[in-house]
A and B are shown apart, each in its own frame.
Chain A
Amino acid sequence: KNEVEQSPQNLTAQEGEFITINCSYSVGISALHWLQQHPGGGIVSLFMLSSGKKKHGRLIATINIQEKHSSLHITASHPRDSAVYICAVKAGGTSYGKLTFGQGTILTVHP
């Protein structure tokens, strides 16, 4: 079993729909990142969370440390949101820079 599991692996939505992508992890962490990767390959960091909830525009990220679970929500989805969304965790302890990545969720939003 992978340390970081994302669901669903593939997600298709119609423009305007509310979207949720889930991330579960099995190790103690000090931070969780949500990343967006566009078809060209470039990666953008959307959020870094260690507790609670963050919002940026139409994107909302939440984390529940006790349940080892995080969600990324997209409100009023748009075709330009089509991308791969990747959850990555930084384990607690002495491993400074080691991020462990989920396998990614491929999101396609149709007009």
Chain B
Amino acid sequence: DSGVTQTPKHLITATGQRVTLRCSPRSGDLSVYWYQQSLDQGLQFLIQYYNGEERAKGNILERFSAQQFPDLHSELNLSSLELGDSALYFCASSVTFPGNTIYFGEGSWLTVV
């Protein structure tokens, strides 16, 4: 158990819908990262938050947004969903930035039908 909790574990939704993925980092970890793993693109970095502020942005679509709340949990919002958004979405956390060990959650499986 990494200590990073993601919900839901599985989600099936229709095209055009909006979903929210939730992540609770390890106790004391200030940095939260979101990654997407799809069959064709592999693992890709989406976005990082540190203590409530956005710190780095990767290949995140404009239809996607994220935030980190004062209690340090984070949410990834995916809207206007397309079939190609079907993927495993990972949240990870670390004390500060990478340079420290990163702890991954179990992932949220999103299927868009």
Query: Do B88 and A99 touch across chains, with their CB atoms under 8 A apart?
Result: no
Looking at the assembled complex, report how far the CB atom of A48 sits from the nearest CB atom of chain B, in whole angstroms: 6
A12 to B109, CA, bound (A): 28
Q: What residues of chain B lie closer than 8 Å to A33, measured between beta carbons?
A: 98, 102
Q: What residues of chain A lie closer than 8 Å to B103, measured between beta carbons?
A: 45
Query: Do B107 and A99 touch across chains, with their CB atoms under 8 A apart?
Result: no
Fill in one digit per residue for B64-101: 1 if any A CB lies within 8 Å of its CB, else 0.
00000000000000000000000010101000011111
Fill in one digit per residue for A82-111: 1 if any B CB lies within 8 Å of its CB, else 0.
000010101000011111111110000000
Q: What residues of chain A lie closer than 8 Å to B55, measured between beta carbons?
A: 96-97
* Main SS class of interface, A: strand
Of A44, A45, A96, A97, most B-chain CB atoms within 10 Å: A97
Q: What residues of chain A lie closer than 8 Å to B28, measured between beta carbons?
A: none
Query: Do B104 and A42 touch across chains, with their CB atoms under 8 A apart?
Result: yes
Fill in one digit per residue for B44-75: 1 if any A CB lies within 8 Å of its CB, else 0.
11001010000110100000000000000000
Query: Do B50 and A86 touch across chains, with their CB atoms under 8 A apart?
Result: no
Q: Residue A14 at the B interface, CB < 8 A?
A: no
Q: Residue B24 at the A interface, CB < 8 A?
A: no
With A41-B109, A43-B90, A100-B45 as given contacts, are A30 and B102 in contact (CB-CB < 8 Å)?
no
Measured CB to CB, the nearest residue on chain A to B47 is A97
Of B44, B99, B102, B104, most A-chain CB atoms within 10 Å: B102
